[in-house]
Each structure stands twice: as structure tokens, then as C-alpha cells.
Chain A
């Protein structure tokens, strides 16, 4: 049963199994285990980034395609929900319309970009995605009447998903309110989407993608039309990224260029895939969890460390919370140096 859910793709390492179970349990019970607004925000973010990173892994790790437009697709889903909620009005109908429209738009745009550039060379695709993503980011900030520009959009989501909606008393000291429902919406949708991705990479289609990554020349010679597969993978990946974006929009009740479209997020996604382990899917889970945790709590940790080392001149300076990006960079370099195949690759090899 569980193996079927995982599409037969077992973690293949006891330690990895343990880590994955811990992450699953942590996310499933987050509202109860880690009460507080901030930790719930972090948990929801982890869920959404797992999906986003997994969809990027389908492209980078499984098909061997480098794209810089993944946040653009993420943003399409998010703006879809935002715009639908604003124009259709508050309601689940608007969420559904926005989500579907975002995913379809993402898939179509991916298809156009793919058909246009994947025929030529992989590097050309990377450049085109970079250009299109930058153009879209500029467009979104320019068209402020529609998109809210740099300020982004605030909109109302169904009352059932907000803290104001109370449907019970308390359970283990946790308010049974709409925010909790919203979290579980995010959690279960993310879980479903992740399992879907796992299914796709273990399907006959997924095997062809790996073959293309390994040797596109031979894949073509045994009868696969490589361009079609690359385009299909790009579309699926874009659509799933858009769905993750929609979840993000439902959760945050706000979209803006910085939270969905920025190039920084694109880099974060790249780092998460690489740290976790490309071409493994589970790498997305481990990478996203570690990275989001580090992003959210490294500063606190450093604040503590810096306080503790106060008086030691250089050290406390280096540990100043403002230097957290530097340390994130150091962590990244170390992890790539010690785990070139990512954490999952390392765990699997070290059996």
C-alpha cells in the first residue's frame, strides 16, 4: 500500500527513511507540535516548496533541462488565484478558477517556450527562460492597475480558510479555526502533488526522461522523439509549479513580485534541488525542509551565538544575524563539496 503510494520508489536508505518520516510527521502535526504563527508559516512554506522544488527536479534532475523560469510559473499560479479572487469575488469558485487558469496558462506558456527553443539546444532554452522570466517580472511590476505592481495584491479568500472562522473549541490548546483548515489544505494538496510527481518519474514516461538526460542522441535513435518529451516534461513541471503557486497564494492571502517572481526564489529553488539531490524527488523534500528552516531560523540561531560570543571581536561580528546570508552560502558550498550528489545521493551511496 505505502509502496504503491510511493510508486515503488523506496527511499533505499534506512537513515533517509527515518528523515523522511520525521519530516512527514513534523509537517502533518505541525500545528500541534510547533504552535505559534511563525512556525506554522514555516511549515506551510516547506510544504509548498517541496512541491515547487520537486517539479523543478523533474526538469533539471530527471530530464536534464536547465530553466530559469520556474518562479514565473509559480507566480502565474499565485497571480491566477489573486486575480480571480479579486475579480470574481471571495469564494472557493474563484480559487478553483484561478488555480486552473494559472496551471493551464503555465503549461501553455511552457509549451510555447519549449517548442520554440528546445528544438535547438538545451543552453538556448536556459537563455530563453531567463529572458522571458525577466520580461514577465518587469511586466508584472509595470502593469500595476492589474497586478498591483511592486505592492502586489491583497485579496480575500473564503472565510472558512481564515482565522476568523471557528468551527470548534480547542484541541491540545490549538484553536480549531479556518487557519488550521487552510494549513491542512496546503499540507494535503502538497502531499498529493508530491506523490503525483513521484508517480510520474516512475512511469514509462519518467524512464524516457531519464534516458534523454543520459543520452538524448541514443534516445532518439531508439525511436523517441526527444523534443516532444522535453516539451511535455516542461509543461508538466510548469503546471505543477503553478499549482504550488496557487497554494501559496491561498495560504498567504497576498501575492507580490518579491514573494513569487523574484530571481532570488529561483536561486533558492536551484540550491534546494542541488542540496537535496538531483533526480531523486526525495531530495526535494530534504532540500526544501533544510533550506526553509535555515532561512527562517538561521538568523535566530546566529543572534544567540553572537550574543554568546559578545566581546570576542571578530567572531561575534561574523556571527551577527545580518551575516546570515554569508553563512547560508558557506553551508551551501560545504554541502556541495561534501555531498556532490546531494544529501539523498550521499545517504543512498553510503549503505
Chain B
């Protein structure tokens, strides 16, 4: 059997007495789109934080290509190919759309320490950035300051930064949260496009079941920090765990 691209083994984190992620063991194969679902506070974002390194694990391991990266710093994990978009928009507000994306491409190409050249003169960087901005349909706003963008457009830029990173593993955390009905499809179509391109490994935290049904190859369910279910979308959605853990709230509402 081949080594999975990304793997977590008994991964846990404890905040005081509260175990937010509880011994999650899960492997992600290359080329797969995995949806991660679970009620609010289930630990989905925290699970991402552990994988991309923003929060140190209390126990367990994270493996990339079979290599232990549990103690590897955030920036180094990023350069190893773990790319992350955030649930709460997390951009460079005083810089323009173009500069935001260019920063990512420049990082990707290891240009950050060039001190005497001109940032604006890096033609390939600018062109690559413009291409990404075009994909998220932000070209008309390219020289706007990010702080002046609408929430929906900031969400698109959040996704653009991840695409610009061209990672091996894409981690989307509720990418369409708070977007209007006509804006969300831009992002969802983009994720579908990424999935269609060969060999993209995508982890997607998403609440909307119809989105998951069309996009996901696999669903894992987190509940109270524990891995509650894992399998094909149809199976998992039909299972009792999901009915109870995820749909539970909706059922109660009925």
C-alpha cells in the first residue's frame, strides 16, 4: 500500500479541561476531496489548525508523505505544500488585491529576501497573480485596497490566496460562509475546477449538504472533537451518526 499524502494519528489538543480534537486518526489520499462536517464547535477549525500548525498538538502526530511534521513551524509546513484558507477572513487589509496575491506568489518563488530589486518589476509574479485574480473574478477590483472590499469579495480573495499558493493539500474552511447566494457559486465552481484538475487533494469544511453531495468523494464527521464517521457521501449521510451528530440540530428544530 502506498503512503497516504497526509495523515493524522491520534491527533489531540486540549484547551484547559476541554478536549477540542480527540485522538483523530485519519488518512487523506492524493487526488481526493474530503468534506469535513460536524456541528458548530465540533473541532473542525481546530483540526485544521493542528494540521497546518497554528496550534501545537497536545498528543498524536501529523504526517505528510509519511514524514512527521508535528513539530514543524507554520511557514515550513506551508512550503512543504500544506495550504490553508481561513474561516475568518485573514488578509492584508491595507494592501491592494494585487499586492495580496503577489505576496503569496513571491513567497512561493522564494523571492522574499531580495532586497534591491523592485517588487513591481517582477513581471512573472505579477502575471501569475493576475491570472489567479481572474479566476476568482476580482480583476475589476485589482487595485482596490482590501479593506475597501465587500465581505463576499474578501472571501473570494481569501480563496485566491490559497490558489496562488499552489499547494499539494488545499484546506478550505467554510469558504462560502457569509457570501450571498449569487457570489457563492464563483467559489464553489472554482473548487470543482480544482478538483477536476488532476491530483489535487482538497479538505473542505462545509455546512451546506447539497454542496457536499456534489463535490465530495468522501465525508468525515467530527463530533465533540472525535472522528464519528468516515466514508462515501451516500453512506455517511444515511448513517445514524450523521443524523444524530450533524443533522441533530436541524431535527430538533423540526
A contact residues vs B (CB 8 Å cutoff)? 7-8, 199-200, 202-208, 210-211, 214-215, 217-226, 229, 232, 236
Contacts and interface: CB of A to CB of B under 8 A. Distances in A.
Nearest to B111: A204
A163 to B, nearest CB: 37
B84 A221 contact: yes
Interface of B: 52, 54, 73-76, 78-79, 84, 86, 90-95, 99, 102-104, 106-108, 111-122, 161, 165
A215 to B, nearest CB: 5
A203 B118 contact: yes
A214 B117 contact: no
Given A202-B118, A207-B102, A224 B92 contact: no
A152 B122 CA distance: 48
7 contacts: A203-B119, A205-B114, A215-B93, A221-B74, A221-B78, A223-B108, A224-B112
Contacts of A217: 54, 90
- A-B pairs with lowest CB-CB distance, top 6: A214-B92, A223-B78, A223-B107, A205-B115, A204-B111, A225-B75
B95 A210 contact: yes
B59 to A, nearest CB: 23
Contacts of A221: 52, 54, 74-75, 78, 84, 86, 90
B52 A215 contact: no
Nearest to B84: A221
A7 B119 CA distance: 9
A166 to B, nearest CB: 39
A202 B119 contact: yes
Main secondary structure on A side of the interface with B: helix
A207 B119 contact: yes
Contacts, number: 99
A226 B84 CA distance: 17
Given A215-B92, A223-B78, A223-B79, A205 B112 contact: yes
Nearest to A209: B112
Given A220-B74, A224-B107, A204 B112 contact: yes
Contacts of B92: 210-211, 214-215, 218-219
Nearest to A228: B113
A204 B106 contact: yes
A268 to B, nearest CB: 27
Nearest to A236: B115
A206 B113 CA distance: 9
Contact of A200 (B79, B94, B115): B115
A175 to B, nearest CB: 39
Given A8-B121, A205-B114, A219-B92, 13 more contacts: A199-B118, A202-B118, A203-B117, A207-B95, A207-B99, A208-B107, A210-B95, A217-B90, A218-B161, A222-B103, A222-B104, A223-B104, A225-B73
Contacts of B78: 220-223
B114 A203 contact: yes
Nearest to A215: B92
A333 to B, nearest CB: 25
Contact of A214 (B84, B93, B107): B93
Contacts of A220: 73-75, 78
A225 B77 CA distance: 11
Nearest to B158: A218
B103 A211 contact: yes
A8 B75 contact: no
Chain A CB within 10 Å — which of B86, B91, B115, B121 has the most? B115
B36 to A, nearest CB: 19
B116 A199 contact: yes
Contacts of B79: 223
B117 A204 contact: yes
Contact of B114 (A7, A204, A215, A236): A204
A210 B118 CA distance: 14
Given A204-B106, A207-B106, A218 B90 contact: yes
